[in-house]
Amino acid sequence: MEVVIVPDAAAGGELVAEAMAQLLGRRPDALLGVATGSTPLPVYEALAAKVRSGAVDASRARIAQLDEYVGLPADHPESYRSVLRREVLEPLGIGMDGFLGPDGTAEDVRAACAAYDRTLAEAGGVDLQLLGIGTDGHIGFNEPCSSLASRTRIKTLTQQTRADNARFFDGDVDQVPHHVITQGIGTILEARHLVLLATGEGKADAVAATVEGPVAAVCPASALQLHPHATVVVDEPAAAKL
């Protein structure tokens, strides 16, 4: 595992965007796995700036979703499909035909999860997966004690994660869905390159457990230690406990 400490969130965004830009230069139809949350926004902004300046052509790139709320209509502004359309696809000029994601509204959610794992495999696998990290060490929506070999499946959110995400639902935790679909940790580990980005002092404990703790299900992100090509990009506040 490679750990890169950058001065601030903007520098982290630029670094990861540059890695994505170089990948797209080598492989214009690369499959980029993307995360939601506040942390990756500087990445998407920096990559979109490269597209606007003509330095990067993302028109053939494909985007794969990491996780999704169960039961939110796809056009709900906080469904992760909507969020990614707004924050990633539109700024990069990628149409929905380049988008892969699970169906959070499926009647048979378990079948939708299995179908998404198949879709990812049939698409050739994720080339670069960008991950954020929850304050409890979760990646995607794999909460602590998720199996490190897990596949895409339905999960129940912890109260802490629902509270953390209430800010996207007018601060009202009751509006945050209880159930989600998430790529499993085993699924995530199949990406060819994992890039975890963490910024801010609130992530310092989770980053220390990820990088220096044991590989253990209590810290799902520690599974990155098992991956042959994992990069952890942290700003100085998030690196404070390393």
Q: Which residues bind ligand GLP (CB under 6 A)?
A: 35-39, 66-67, 132-134, 140-141, 161, 165
Q: Apex CA 82: angle with CA 140 and CA 172, to 5°? A: 75
The CB-of-25 to ligand GLP minimum distance in angstroms stands at 26
The CB-of-145 to ligand GLP minimum distance in angstroms stands at 16
Among 87, 117, 136, 235, the active-site one is: 136
CB nearer to ligand GLP: pick between 158 and 225: 158
Q: Can you tell me the distance from the alpha carbon of 222 to that of 194, in angstroms, rounded to the nearest whole number?
A: 12
Q: Are 240 and 201 in contact (CB under 8 A)?
A: yes
CB nearer to ligand GLP: pick between 56 and 150: 150
The CB-of-184 to ligand GLP minimum distance in angstroms stands at 13
SS3 category, 48: helix
CB nearer to ligand GLP: pick between 22 and 156: 156
Residue 78 a catalytic site member = no
CB nearer to ligand GLP: pick between 94 and 196: 196
CB nearer to ligand GLP: pick between 56 and 183: 183
SS3 category, 43: helix
Q: Can you tell me the distance from the alpha carbon of 228 to that of 236, in angstroms, rounded to the nearest whole number?
A: 25
Closest by Cα among 79, 74, 62 to 123: 62
Residue 181 phi/psi, 5-degree rounding, is -105, 135
Residue 172 a catalytic site member = no
Number of CB atoms found within 10 A of residue 60's CB: 12
Q: How far is CA 206 from the centre of its chain?
A: 16
Residue 41 burial by Cβ neighbours in a 10 Å radius (0-12, 13-18, 19+) = middle
CB nearer to ligand GLP: pick between 98 and 137: 137
Q: Are 164 and 134 in contact (CB under 8 A)?
A: yes
Among 68, 103, 117, 143, the active-site one is: 143
The CB-of-53 to ligand GLP minimum distance in angstroms stands at 26
Q: What is the DSSP letter of 169?
A: T
Residue 138 a catalytic site member = yes
The CB-of-196 to ligand GLP minimum distance in angstroms stands at 9
Assign residue 216 a region: left if phi > 0, alpha if psi is -120 to 50, beta otherwise?
A: beta
Among 67, 117, 127, 164, the active-site one is: 67
Residues with a known catalytic role: 67, 136, 138, 143
